[in-house]
Structure formats: structure tokens, C-alpha cells
Structure 1
Amino acid sequence: MALALAASTGVAVAADAEAGAVQFRKCTPCHNIGPGAKNKVGPELNGLEGRHSGIVEGFNYSDANKNSGITWNKETFLEYITDPRKKIPGTKMVFAGIKNEQDRENLWAYLSSFKADGSKK
């Protein structure tokens, strides 16, 4: 009931990093995160918050991504993950996006909980 009330009044529900870990399963075919994360089809995502787009060592980014000028933060990520090709035309990322706002919020809560070395904040 409280969730329905919050949704109907436009009040955002708090993000849940554990639920974000479940959302991250959609990302695991291409991305790694955590201790020992390596680049796959996509770059590893440790330390994403505050990182400039296109700079992970050893990953071959598209020119569009390298030249996007993006510094990852919550707002930018939420916009990007809704429709990656709209946010960065020419990106190599072939993911359709996550349309559900709460799922995007949860995913960001999970991703932003990792430091650059893969440890938890």
C-alpha cells in the first residue's frame, strides 16, 4: 500500500543496492564489477561514479564514447541506461536500456557502491 501511495504521489522510493545486484545480472554478459573485475565485451565498472567515459585501460571504446565528455554520476547514468544509444549516438553498446525508473535507481545504487579497486565503499 505504501509503495502504491508513493508511486501515485510521485514520491521516489529509496534505491536498494541489493535489488540493484539483481538488475546487474542483465549486465553480466558484458560487464564485470567487484574485486578482480576484468573487461569483457564492455569495460569493468568499478569506480564508475566520478569516472570519465572512455578511459578504462585496456578497453577499446568507440570514438563516440571516448569523446562524449561524460563524467559518470547518478543523473548521467540514469539517463544513459534508459537508452544508451540515444545518450551516446555511435556507442558500441547494444543494450536496449532499462525503462523502469526504480530498476535504474537500484542499479545505480549497486554500481556506485564499488570503489575503483573493486572493494565496497
Structure 2
Amino acid sequence: MRTILMAAAVVVCASGAAVAQDLAAGANSFKKCAPCHAVGEGAKNKVGPVLNGLAGRHSGSVEGYSYSAANKNSGITWDEATFLEYIKDPKAKIPGTKMVFAGIKNEGEAKALWAYLAQFKADGKK
């Protein structure tokens, strides 16, 4: 029984460390996004919309940002799977988007970026 408890504790600690690594990797990857997007408390729209509250948000719905018709009419609700598909090649996922970013092809990097962004609520708090 003691061995099982020790193994469970190791798994819990390892998963916490993995999440922290993903968030750190995602924060590093966000540097590619930061010239156009902001996230966190006090974030403001830039060339692109703020990314607070991305998880569960409808595409084209950030107040005060002028989206393309393609984004507004895409019917997308952001979740991990949709984001991973989009971030590989934004123009392929939403033809007509204003986003001029070549994409992130590495799935691990894209997943870490999603983990980082998904932690921010609509108000920018984690």
C-alpha cells in the first residue's frame, strides 16, 4: 500500500511539474504573438485582439477590435483542438483573416501556447 501511495505522489508531482513546464514554454512561445496581441490584466487590443478569455470565446467577438468578416462569420468557438488547427496555418483555417502569421507547426509548442493562453480569464486574471 505504501508503494502505491508513493507512486501516486510521484505522478501528481510530475504532472504539476509538466504543467509548469508547459506554461513556461507557452509564455516563451507567446513572445511570437506579443507584437500583435496582449494578454493578462490591463491588456489592450493591438494590431490583433486581446487573447484573454480565449477558451470558449466566439471568434470575432472582442469588444473594440475591428475583425475581418471572415473571423466574425467563421462560427468558431475557441477550444484546444480548434486553436491547434488554427495556429498551424491561420489563413488556411480562416480564409480572409487579417492575421498575417505563418503559424506554429510544432504541435508541442502549439499545445504549450494554448495552455498558457487558456489560463487567462476574460478579465486577464489567471
Shorter-chain TM-score bucket reads: 0.7 to 0.9
TM-score by length of 1: 0.87
For the pair shown, the structure with the greater C-alpha radius of gyration is: 2
Tell me the residue number matched to 1:33: 39
Q: Deviations over 1:76-101 (max 9, x none)?
A: 00000000000000000000000111
Tell me the residue number matched to 2:114: 108
Give the share of equivalent positions with the same residue, in percent: 72
Show structure 1 runs of 4+ deviating over 3 A. none
Q: Deviations over 1:14-51 (max 9, x none)?
A: 66011100000000000000000000000000000000
Aligned mates of 2:42, 2:24 — CA distance in 1? 20
User: Where in structure 2 are there 5+ consecutive unaligned residues?
Assistant: 1-17
Q: Give me the CA root mean square deviation.
A: 0.8
Question: AA paired with 1:24?
Answer: F
More helix by percentage: 2
User: Where in structure 1 are there 5+ consecutive unaligned residues?
Assistant: 1-13
Count the aligned residue pairs.
107
